[in-house]
Amino acid sequence: MLGPDDRMNEGRENGADSRFVHIITYGCQMNVFDTHRILQVLRPLGYRETDDPAMADLILLNTCSVRDRPEQKVIGTVTRLKPLKESRPDMMMGVCGCVGQQHGRALLDRLPWLDLVFGTDNILDLPDMLAATHKGRRVANTRRMKRREYEFVGVDPAVERGPTAFLTIIKGCDKVCTYCIVPRVRGREVSKPADVVEAEVRSLVASGVRDVTLLGQNVNSYGKDLQDGPDFTGLLERLDGIPGLSRLRFVTSHPADADQGMLECFGRLPRLAEYLHLPVQSGSNRILKLMRRGYTVREYLRCIDTARKASPDIAVSTDFIVGFPGETDEDHRMSLDLIRAVRFDAIFSFKYSPRPGTRAVRMEDDVPEEVKAARLLELQTLQDGIMAERMSRFLGRVEEVLVEGPSRASGFEWMGRTRTNRIVNFPPPEGASIGPGDLVDVRIDEIKAHSLRGTVLP
């Protein structure tokens, strides 16, 4: 990213036509991936990325509808940026992603200083949309591509930074979880052809990427819509053979589509890193049914059991929603029991809040806010203890770490990740030169709350 000092140099290098885009990305990794695709589409138009909104010719908010009060957040940020727009009317401002898709033109009506709103299927239309805004038009484009005509934006490794990269392999979701807006804003599932995925992974590896995370709202549903392509397990097997690739990961998988073949890949594919994010959402079958998740607690536990039999040290993380409509103390207790039974490495937990456009919005949001808050705290406190215990198993162990870059905690140290997705900070080894993309053996000397610290072994 370019900062203030860099802009003058960039301007000199690229002439007076250099333009700058500042993108604020909310939410999940799929949005991070989409932000990279937006940058890719903007590059031929002369745009470079800047982290300073005051210097931008274009500001985009790439939004997410999943987390708490997404519309309010977007409206708050666009309002905060209003003085900047007033001082520089030639600077264009737009909203894209799920909130753009969901609210479309209504956002332009509500925020008269906003120039552009576009949806999740419209990234490739960006040059035309910008041309229209520069002629003074305000543009809302949320046209949804039909399943058959869906076109993925091809990956350009030049916009990736560092040795890790995300790669969307399936867009949309065909599930019907009652609390979720994703199927409405992202549409039906469309899998990227396996040949394209493989070619993209190869090109990322050729450009220095070593760790690729395959993305999808429901990633392990991959291939169901392809005529002759492999299923998700087949795709993993195919990618596992790519020379130069050190690690392969995937998120987010759905328990109902996590079959035995897929889970056993953790024990037999050398590049598949030992990390499984498998959202459960609740430990109560009654609530899972109200959520229309399509599996029972017993089936979920069977998935975990299969994955751990295949790979005993695998790290497992999950998502929980607390306070879903109708959730009783007993349902909540069952969630706590499930946490004790599985002993997750990490949990991402949220209080339920109704989302307009979902089925659950018609259910009475009957768990009082203070009860939701108390249940969330209880769940997180339980998990904090389990996580500390799970982390302690690393002490004294030697872990294979992929070096990602300078440590955020200390600019003098390096930061990398274990195969189980734990962050490790470590000082540079004496007498050896290492850099991003290298695999090093690190002895773990210290356990911190959310990371590890260690020493590189010769």
Residue ranges binding ligand SF4 (CB under 6 A): 173, 175, 177, 180, 182-183, 217-218, 254
What tokens were used for 36? 């990279």
Spatial neighbors of 128 by CB under 8 A, at least 6 apart, are none
Q: Which CB, 361 or 382, lies closer to ligand SF4?
A: 361
Q: Are 130 and 95 in contact (CB under 8 A)?
A: no
Q: Closer to ligand SF4 at the Cβ: 182 or 391? A: 182
| Smallest separation (angstroms) from ligand SF4 to the CB of 11 | 42
Closer CB to ligand SF4, residue 22 or residue 254? Answer: 254
Take residue 124 and report the two structure tokens written for it: 């490739």
**What are the φ and ψ backbone dihedral angles of 321, each rounded to 5 degrees?**
-110, 125
The string of DSSP codes covering 316-359 is EEEEEEES-TT--HHHHHHHHHHHHHH--SEEEEEE----TTSG
Separation between Cα atoms, residue 367 and residue 358, nearest integer Å? 18
Nearer to ligand SF4, 173 or 205 (CB): 173
**Closest to ligand SF4 by CB, 173 or 276:** 173
Q: Show the tokens assigned to 400.
A: 């294979």
CB of 174 to ligand SF4, least distance (A): 8
Do residues 223 and 174 lie in contact, with contact meaning Cβ atoms separated by under 8 Å? no
Q: Within a 13 Å sphere around the CA of 154, how many CA atoms are in the beta-carbon half? A: 9
Q: Give 140's strand partners.
A: 117
Could you tell me the CA-to-CA distances from 277 to 66, 75, 180, 252, 335 in Å, in that order?
17, 31, 18, 6, 17
Distance in Å, CB of 376 to ligand SF4, minimum: 18
CB of 281 vs ligand SF4, minimal distance in Å? 8
> Which CB atom, from 182 or from 310, has the smaller least distance to ligand SF4?
182
Give me the residues paired with residue 203 across strands: none
| Burial label, 439 (beta-carbon count in 10 A; 0-12, 13-18, 19+) | middle
Q: How far is the CB of 126 from ligand SF4 (least distance, A)?
A: 25
Smaller CB distance to ligand SF4: residue 221 or 246? 221
* Token code pair at residue 112: 């008269």
Question: From the CB of 270, what's the least distance to ligand SF4, in Å?
Answer: 29
Distance in Å, CB of 177 to ligand SF4, minimum: 3
Closer by beta carbon to ligand SF4, 254 or else 271: 254
Structure tokens at 281: 């959402």
Closest CA relative to residue 387, chosen from 421, 358, 432: 421
Taking the complex as a whole, how short is the minimal distance between the CB of residue 227 and ligand SF4, in angstroms?
A: 23
Q: How far apart are CA 340 and CA 329, in angstroms?
A: 17
Q: Between 97 and 163, whose beta carbon lies closer to ligand SF4? A: 97
Cβ 213 to ligand SF4 shortest distance, Å: 17
**Do residues 397 and 444 lie in contact, with contact meaning Cβ atoms separated by under 8 Å?**
yes
Helix, strand, or coil (residue 126): helix
